Structure 1
Amino acid sequence: RGSEQPARPNEDPVAQWLGAVHLNGAGRYAEALEAARRACAHLPGVLALWGPAELVELATRQGRTDLARAAFDQLTEAALAGRTDWGLGMEARARALLGQDPDHHFRAAIARLERTRMRADLARTHLLYGEHLRAEQRRNEAREHLRTALELFAEAGMDGFAARAERELAATGATTRRRGADTAERLTPQEARIAELARTGLTNKEIATRLHVSPRTVEYHLHKVFAKQGVTSRTQLRQP
């Protein structure tokens, strides 16, 4: 199968996967695809999910359905063996990328990944969903997910992916501003919107429905707003 291309001599699959991630974030998708293919040739345990997940994303982006489906089979086997929120979330994301009811599976992936500590994978899922929504001309929905992705990438120091999220946001007509030390305590646009809705008395679920995100995402942003404003309840929230 395509994803089983033999590794080159002395190539470390982990190093190949890390290279694929770096190239993906930099937008060098063809090179990233080759690195991901080599990483998936001899998967150590740590890459049983990450390797095929990377390959599914890159192969679908390059129109290589054969590679994507072969990698998806590997990913599904690993996800069903462990049955963790992380693994099942990654599998749901892959299904979305393969065009299997993308809205349902992207949302399912986000819901599962929000229950884990895998913040980078959650950020990348928001990015991919935002890219999908932008391609569907659903710009307002796309912006919500792209802003969440940008914030998570900035916090994690994932500059390449943060730049990619910024480019996608700009393509929707939104303006972006990378956060620095002088803006660290200011509310981001996403935080400000959620805080404003929370002040009106809406519940997390109602805010999530309004903004097309999950209640866990709303909870995450409200927690950050509380910390920045030094408050402990919604009634204490103040205008940014």
Structure 2
Amino acid sequence: MDPAWSRACYLDAIEMGILIGGLDDIVAAAKSAPPGDGSDVLLDAIVSLVTDGHRAALPLLRPLTSDVGHEQWTRRPSLALILAAEVWDFDFLYDIGHRIVELGRRSGSFFTLPIGLSMAAAASVHAGDFRAAMEMISEGAAIVEATGASPLVYPSIHLAGLRGRKQEATELFDRVLAASQLMTISVHWATSALNNGLADYPAALAAAQRAVASRDLANAGLALPELIEAAVRCGEHEQAAAALRSLTERTQAAGTPWGLGVKAYARGMVTGDEESYRAAIEHLDGSRATVYRARAHLLYGEWLRREGRRREARERLRQSHELFSDIGMEAFATRAAGELRATGERIRPRANPAGDGLTVQEVHIARLVAGGETSREIAARLFISPRTVDAHLRNIFRKLGITSRRQLRDLDL
């Protein structure tokens, strides 16, 4: 009797199904939804994506994901994040998160702002801007703590997986899984990325297999290149080739620089085709997806070294090592450094950042103090008391071996 309301209910159910499971059953039911009036195709696009695949759904999805101002994203920001990853559109992934943050700040909504901060933080992680991601994670955590809402932990999971500190990441993943099974697939993806960085390919393969088998929107697709890399290193070439076919179907239909670049370097790993590595770097050159550009250089450099072309390998590996080090992807930087040494290159050790031992919230507070904000201003921003800010500052001073706010301004945090 009310088609628009009915379709909205199906979309609500789909959003929850993505988050807590049961999506296939919900999509099967959504096939009986009343037809729309032509102005709202999001439901039809998601049903097509789940039932018919990316090639069929992309013509419906691409107009939606090319418009960050579409009214659907204001009402359902989580779907925007998930679909951005499904269509491999990094610009949309980045822009929609920051737009939701802007809308949340403008409206003062304690519902919208934490979601936007989590979306923007996740995008910043994959863009290689770990500093911005940590600040947004800290602000989002302060808001949910003040309001009693459930924390949104997926950006922290992504950050830990790509940062590459094994003990720190494993402890986070264990805490997340002990608290809830809702983030299981995110943890599988992050575990596969972590272990590929650490060159523990059997562990990366096992985690990527679990993520891909889930058929989870967003995470299953992101796990495909992790599975391909790990499978190739483990000699599981048939498995890698099958994953490449799935990745190709997704990224070829999308036709975006991010997707085409990742598909190209995955193809290079499976086929040994040098032009695929070159194409990957060309697609990703200038892209916001810095993490993936760095990985393209690393994989090409590794291939060149194994082909005995040490001088060319050195150039690619040096670029990847510099990018990983600048980003803070410690495991991948170590892997690139090892490859560089194998070419005869001498690696100068880099000093650890001053804030290396600080928590995410302590880094955020330290940067705010270094920027000249008072304890009262920081307390208002983070929904904590000035006394709590000062307690954090005492911990920061102790960990950094300093005694004043002025000294914070001279440190690289």
**Counterpart among 120, 127, 133 of residue 298 in structure 2:** 127
Taking a change above 3 Å as real, the CA distance of residues 49 and 107 of structure 1, as seen in their structure-2 partners, is farther
Matching residue's letter, 1:88: L
> Given that residues 294 and 323 in structure 2 are in contact (C-alpha distance below 8 angstroms), is that contact kept between their aligned partners in structure 1?
yes
Residues 66/181 of structure 1: CA separation in 2 closer, same or farther (3 Å cut): closer
- Give structure 1 regions of 4+ aligned residues with deviation exceeding 4 angstroms: none
Deviations 1:29-86 (A, max 9, x none): 1111100111111233323542111111110111101210111111011102211011
Kept after mapping to 1: 8 A contact 2:281/2:296? yes
* Alignment length (residue pairs): 173
User: Is 2:335 aligned against 1:164?
Assistant: yes
Report the AA paired with residue 316 of structure 2: H
1:76 aligns with 2:222: no
Query: Would the aligned equivalents of 2:196 and 2:229 in 1 still touch at CA under 8 Å?
Result: no
- Counterpart for residue 206 of structure 2: 34
1:154 and 2:325 are equivalent in the alignment: yes
- Show CA shifts across 1:88-111 (max 9, x none): 11111111111252x211010001
Q: Name the aligned partner's letter for residue 23 of structure 1.
A: N
Match of 1:175 in 2: 346
Contact preservation (8 Å) 2:262, 2:280: yes
Contact 1:40 1:51 in 2 (8 A): yes
How many angstroms apart in 1 are the aligned matches of 2:352 and 2:189? 32
Q: Percent identity?
A: 43
**Secondary structure of 2:345's aligned partner:** coil
Supply the RMSD in Å over aligned alpha carbons: 1.8
2:233 to 50, 56, 61: 61
Give TM-score, length-normalised by structure 1: 0.68
Q: Give 1:71's aligned amino acid.
A: A
- The answer on whether the counterparts of 1:106 and 1:129 sit within 8 Å (CA) in structure 2 is yes
Q: Which letter maps to 2:252?
A: L
The residue aligned with 1:118 is 289
2:284 pairs with 1:97? no
Aligned mates of 1:108, 1:30 — CA distance in 2: 28
Which residue of the partner structure matches residue 206 of structure 1?
none
Distance 1:165 1:11 in 2: 30
Correspondence list, 1:179-218, <5 A: 179-180=350-351
Max radius of gyration: which structure? 2
Q: Do the aligned residues in 2 keep the contact of 1:43 with 1:51 (CA within 8 Å)?
A: no
Q: AA paired with 2:312?
A: E
| Amino acid paired to 1:92 | A
Distance in 1 (CA, whole Å) between partners of 2:183 and 2:205 is: 16
**SS of equivalent to 1:163:** helix
TM-score normalised over the length of structure 2? 0.40
Q: Which moved more, 1:149-158 or 1:46-55?
A: 46-55
Using the TM superposition, name which of 155-164 and 36-45 deviates more: 36-45
Q: Which runs of 5+ in 2 are unaligned?
A: 1-180, 354-413
Q: Quick one: which of 257, 261, 264 aligns to 1:85?
A: 257
Checking the alignment, whether the CA contact within 8 Å between 2:188 and 2:207 is kept in structure 1 is yes
Please, which runs of 5 or more residues in structure 1 have no aligned partner? 1-8, 183-240
Name the CA distance, whole Å, in 2 between partners of 1:161 and 1:137: 22
